[in-house]
């Protein structure tokens, strides 16, 4: 089990660390390639929507054939996408690269590997171990964001992206050490995937959680994509942007680990709501105070603490309500909403800035959507599927 936790955490850490560092390349690429911020933002937005669209498919394949082949193939696709970014000379190349990277992250990110860990863990320890993997998976940003910025400053953005491509190839090697050993309650189910998806779509709580997850992607990807550029507009050094992303990764580790343990003791749906609500509150505070190096790093620490704590909590809700027979496919369906939000947040930020020369409207959208997510998540029905069906049948 220790090997599985280490390998899964390392793969997720490297994959997510590279993905969350992409915003650092906006300035150099837009300058060298002569493209707009909206064009670069669209390539990242495309990456996120392809990730979301492919996550249920990759998850279903991992459910059927195993995680190892799914992770191996997608790691190679990820490396190809990053390599293509190195030689791209315009919007088309960046968009194709974003498409490939999206598929790569679907297999090497959280979606598949937390399913492997959840299936291999007894119910009483499941959410804590998923939280541990998600926490370790946050460490990549701590190292890769400042390292990528340093390599970029010394050798150029092409060298930094080439290094990221080599890291993606390394994750393909690591996945060879994945060994799946499901516990008794997590064995594959005979229920058809179509029925499992239909049951989920008809569950009010599942729908509310899925819609609320849109806000998570919308807020977080806007920040990772546009915060460095926003700080430059405020007269803050680009190096602070890299430090902020690294700080997000560090505090993300602490917050995710903590929420994994809290989720084993308290209401997972209310903890999710509190994450969305508190995150939105910190955005309001950040916008209300002067933007300085100190306020930026405090904001980054706060947002990092509230960053990926949603992952173990959503895992716990899905496992309790629907079981683990089709976990990867169901998690992928929820995650699709997150990635639609990611697409909207990344692209919207670029369009708003290109149109108005300011991020004010974009920040306002983050606040409104975050408040909506809090209400949806707080009021969701998180009863197991059978209990929800019985309660619905009893209504006149």
**For 66, which DSSP code?**
-
More confident site: 238 or 52: 52
Calculate mean pLDDT across residues 253-275. 90
| pLDDT of res. 244 | 84
Calculate mean pLDDT across residues 292-320. 90
Residue 315 to residue 303: CA distance in whole angstroms:
21
Q: Judge whether residue 314 has pLDDT over 80.
A: yes
Q: Tokens representing 66?
A: 């195993």
DSSP 7-35: HHHHHHHHHHHHHTTGGGGHHHHHHHHT-
Query: What integer best gives the mean pLDDT of the chain?
Result: 86
| pLDDT of res. 319 | 84
Calculate mean pLDDT across residues 241-259. 83
**For 89, which DSSP code?**
-
Q: Judge whether residue 27 has pLDDT over 90.
A: no
Counting Cβ atoms within 10 Å, is residue 322 exposed (0-12), middle (13-18) or buried (19+)? buried
| pLDDT of res. 300 | 92
> How sure is the predictor about 99, in pLDDT bands with cuts at 50, 70 and 90?
very high
Least confident of 69-78, 90-99, 144-153, 320-329: 320-329
Q: Which of 3-7, 57-61, 209-213 has the highest mean pLDDT?
A: 209-213
Residue 13 to residue 225: CA distance in whole angstroms:
18
CA dist 318 → 158, 312, 384 (Å): 41, 10, 9
Three-class SS state of 60: helix
Q: Which pLDDT tens digit goes with each residue over 104-128?
A: 999 998 878 888 888 888 877 888 8
What is the sign of the dihedral through the CA atoms of 283, 334, 378 and 361? positive
User: In the chain, where are the structural domains located?
Assistant: 2-391
- Class (C level, CATH) for 2-391: mainly alpha
Least confident of 244-248, 254-258, 259-263: 244-248
Which of these, 71, 72, 96, lies nearest to 86 by C-alpha position? 96
| pLDDT of res. 386 | 62
Residue 56 to residue 53: CA distance in whole angstroms:
7
Q: Judge whether residue 190 has pLDDT over 80.
A: no
Least confident of 39-53, 100-114, 379-393: 379-393
Residues contacting 284, CB < 8 A, separation 6+: 367
- Considering the entire predicted model, what is its pTM? 0.76
| pLDDT of res. 183 | 60
Q: Judge whether residue 195 has pLDDT over 80.
A: yes
CB 222 within 8 A of CB 352: no
Q: Judge whether residue 1 has pLDDT over 80.
A: no
**160 backbone dihedrals φ, ψ, rounded to 5°:** -65, -45
Q: Where are the alpha helices (DSSP H) in the chain?
A: 2-19, 26-33, 37-65, 67-87, 91-108, 110-119, 123-136, 139-155, 157-174, 193-201, 204-233, 238-262, 268-288, 293-305, 310-322, 327-356, 360-378, 385-394
Question: How far is residue 131 CA from its own chain's centroid?
Answer: 14
Classify the phi-psi angles of 156: left when phi > 0, otherwise alpha if psi is within -120 to 50, otherwise beta.
left
Least confident of 48-57, 74-83, 174-183, 248-257: 174-183
Q: Which pLDDT tens digit goes with each residue over 135-188?
A: 777 777 778 888 888 899 899 999 999 999 999 999 999 988 888 776 655 555
Residue 200 to residue 26: CA distance in whole angstroms:
38
Q: Judge whether residue 396 has pLDDT over 50.
A: no
Question: How far is residue 226 CA from its own chain's centroid?
Answer: 16
Q: Which pLDDT tens digit goes with each residue over 201-234?
A: 888 899 999 999 999 989 988 987 888 888 888 8
CB 333 within 8 A of CB 321: no
Based on its alpha-carbon atoms, the radius of gyration of the chain, rounded to whole angstroms, reads 20
Counting Cβ atoms within 10 Å, is residue 207 exposed (0-12), middle (13-18) or buried (19+)? middle
**Percent of the chain at pLDDT above 70?**
94
Residue 353 to residue 68: CA distance in whole angstroms:
41
Q: Which of 24-28, 30-34, 79-83, 351-355 has the highest mean pLDDT?
A: 79-83
| pLDDT of res. 313 | 92
């Amino acid at each position: 089990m220790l090997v599985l936790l280490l390998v899964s955490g390392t793969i997720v850490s490297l994959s997510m660390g590279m993905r969350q560092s992409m915003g650092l390349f906006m300035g150099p690429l837009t300058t060298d390639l002569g493209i707009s911020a909206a064009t670069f933002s669209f390539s990242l937005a495309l990456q996120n929507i392809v990730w979301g669209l492919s996550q249920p498919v990759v998850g279903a394949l991992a459910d059927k054939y195993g995680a190892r082949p799914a992770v191996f193939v997608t790691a190679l696709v990820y490396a190809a996408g990053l390599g293509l970014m190195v030689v791209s000379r315009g919007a088309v190349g960046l968009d194709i690269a974003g498409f490939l990277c999206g598929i790569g992250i679907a297999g090497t990110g959280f979606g598949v590997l937390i399913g492997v860990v959840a299936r291999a863990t007894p119910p009483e320890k499941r959410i804590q171990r998923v939280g541990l993997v998600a926490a370790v998976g946050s460490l990549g940003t701590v190292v890769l964001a400042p390292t990528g910025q340093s390599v970029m400053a010394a050798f150029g953005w092409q060298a930094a992206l080439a290094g990221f491509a080599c890291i993606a190839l390394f994750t393909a090697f690591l996945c060879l050490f994945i060994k799946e050993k499901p516990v008794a309650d997590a064995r594959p189910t005979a229920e058809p995937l179509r029925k499992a998806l239909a049951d989920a779509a008809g569950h009010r709580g599942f729908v509310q959680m899925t819609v609320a997850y849109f806000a998570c992607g919308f807020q977080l990807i806007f920040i990772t994509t546009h915060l460095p550029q926003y700080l430059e507009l405020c007269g803050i050094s680009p190096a602070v942007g890299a430090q902020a992303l690294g700080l997000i990764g560090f505090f993300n580790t602490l917050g995710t680990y903590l929420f994994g343990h809290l989720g084993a003791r308290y209401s997972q749906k209310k903890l999710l709501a509190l994450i969305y609500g508190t995150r939105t509150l910190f955005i309001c505070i950040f916008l209300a105070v002067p933007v300085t190096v100190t306020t930026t790093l405090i904001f980054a620490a706060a947002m990092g603490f509230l960053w990926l704590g949603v992952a173990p909590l959503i895992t716990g809700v899905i496992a309790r309500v629907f079981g683990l027979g089709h976990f990867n496919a169901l998690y992928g369906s929820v995650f699709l909403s997150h990635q639609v939000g990611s697409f909207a947040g990344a692209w919207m930020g670029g369009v708003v800035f290109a149109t108005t020369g300011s991020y004010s409207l974009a920040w306002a959208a983050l606040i409104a959507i975050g408040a909506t997510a809090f209400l949806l998540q707080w009021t969701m029905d998180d009863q197991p599927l059978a209990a929800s069906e019985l309660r619905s049948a009893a209504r006149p």
